[in-house]
Amino acid sequence: MPGLQVLQNKLGPAFSGYTGKTNRYGREKMRVDPDLHFIKYMKSAGGDTLKKCFQCATCSVMCPLSTDENPFPRKQMVFAQWGMKEQLIADPEVLLCHNCGDCTAYCPRGAKPGDVLGSIRAYMYTHYGWPNGLAKMVSEPKMLPMTIALPAIIITLMLFISQMGSHDAWIPTVQGLKDHGFGSFFGHWDFKWLSKNVAFIDAIMLPAVGLAVFSLFKGVSNMWSAMEKRCDINPSFRPSAKQFVTEFLVPSVKEIIAHNRFRECTENADRVRGHRPLMYAFIGLAIVTAYSAFKQDVLGAFIPSMHGPLSLIDPFKILANVSAIAMIVGVGILWGNRAAAEEKNGVTPTYFDWFLLYEIMAVGVTGISAELTRLIGIPPLAYAVYYLHLVSILMLFLYLPYTKFAHLVYRTFAMAFERYRNSSFVK
């Protein structure tokens, strides 16, 4: 196949199994060692159609990311069929793909390149995830009971510890729930500088956030090194931290917030309607969380009236409620789009895709439900729902580096790498 030979010549050192010998045509012989476990994983994660690809290049014609020099995703389909894991997990183009669905919709063989690329990204998050055991647990459907049980056990254990030696009833009265909200979920003590409830929530959530941040930092660092090696980048000088942030990272973040590349899609262009409210919802909830912590645990140490739930007419409370609704609406749109894609285009339903949708929906629904049951005045039900809310939030933080949520970080740095390799720092 002349076309495939041209593609192989362009790939050059990317195929790392050269033997040092030549064939009768004078071309260097190449040994390919496929990773069968990787191929098996791709098939289980939605890439079960990859063997149908016969390199017609329709996907590259349709993809806005493809160029003559870089036939995306045709090249990646070759790698996937040959089980060349090391090339794919270090390929920035895999992360730059926004899964718009154009390649899948127009593939004459039903190879569904978009699904194959999605399965590769799922493998990347598990491969780069740390600790690896936790990453593998989250990626396995059969481990779902343990995935849910782990944060539930942590919350239950901390709740049990918080009530040791306490003579107060755990479930408050209707008036107590009205006055303090969930501010006494983990109990009360007389230390004015930090409430007991916040101390226990910090003890639960901060280590989970710290683990997620460290895991993402470690994963992105390893991915960046692998991408440099794959692209044969060995610059004589590197950008300073300030240059990296201002010239490569910040423009990438701005592009993601603006959703510029989503607008180049045709089949799934309406995904912007789901992604944007979801993104703004998380930004809004982060602002509310920071404000609430400052109000209750900084100002509250000097002004006791600052403790307790926010008023419904408080601007930050309004922001919180709007953000929660936006979260549910955004996930609902993505949920509908995913279901429609599976029905209309035959997109393979995967555990990896649906896990995050269910998880974010659980955070939004339990959050709204906890507030409603508090306002109605049903303490036992309100506390039960709030417990589920804490479990769902802990799941979101604890498993962030290993779920589809991680693409926000990995894709951002892949975009930064794209700018970096085309800059004057790389010759």
pLDDT at 13 > cutoff 50 = no
- Say what the pLDDT of residue 32 is: 65
Q: Give residue 297's pLDDT band: very low, low, confident or very high (50, 70, 90).
A: confident
Q: Where are the domains of the chain?
A: 2-128, 132-421
| pLDDT of amino acid 16 | 44
Tokens of 92: 């920035």
What distance in Å separates the CA atoms of residue 225 and residue 218, rounded to the nearest whole number?
11
Mark 294-329 as b/e (b = at least 16 C-beta within 10 Å): ebbbeebeeeeeebbbbeeeeebbebbbbbbebbbb
pTM of the predicted protein model: 0.85
The CATH number of 2-128 is which of 1.10.10, 2.60.120, 1.10.860, 1.10.1060? 1.10.1060
Residue 27 pLDDT: 56
264 — pLDDT class (breaks 50, 70, 90): low
Alpha helices in 107-195 (DSSP H): 113-128, 132-139, 144-163, 174-180
Q: What are the start-end ranges of the H helices in 166-239? A: 174-180, 196-230
pLDDT in tens, 319-338: 999 999 999 999 998 888 88
Q: Does residue 17 contact residue 30 with C-beta atoms inside 8 Å?
A: yes
Q: What is the pLDDT of residue 104?
A: 82
Count of beta carbons in the 10 Å neighbourhood of residue 147: 20
Sign of CA dihedral 208, 214, 217, 220: negative
Q: Note the pLDDT of residue 263.
A: 64
According to the model, what pLDDT value does residue 215 have? 97
Q: Is the dihedral of CA 198, 202, 204, 209 positive or negative?
A: positive
Q: What pLDDT, on the 0 to 100 scale, is given for residue 50? A: 82
Burial 181-208 (b: 16+ CB within 10 A, else e): bbbbbbbeeeeeeebbbbbbbeebbeeb
Q: How far is CA 24 from CA 18, 27, 28, 31, 349, in A?
A: 16, 7, 9, 16, 47
Tokens representing residue 87 in the block: 């090339």
- Band of residue 1 on the pLDDT scale cut at 50, 70, 90: very low
**Across the strands, what pairs with 30?**
18
Mean pLDDT of 329-350: 80
Query: Positive or negative, the Cα torsion across 121, 97, 77, 217?
Result: negative
Q: Report pLDDT for 417.
A: 94
pLDDT of residue 390: 97
Classify 219 as helix, strand or coil: helix
Residue 278 burial (C-beta neighbours within 10 Å; 0-12, 13-18, 19+): buried
- Mean pLDDT over each residue of the chain, to the nearest integer: 84
Q: Average pLDDT of 84-93?
A: 91
Contact in structure between 44 and 349 (CB atoms under 8 Å): no
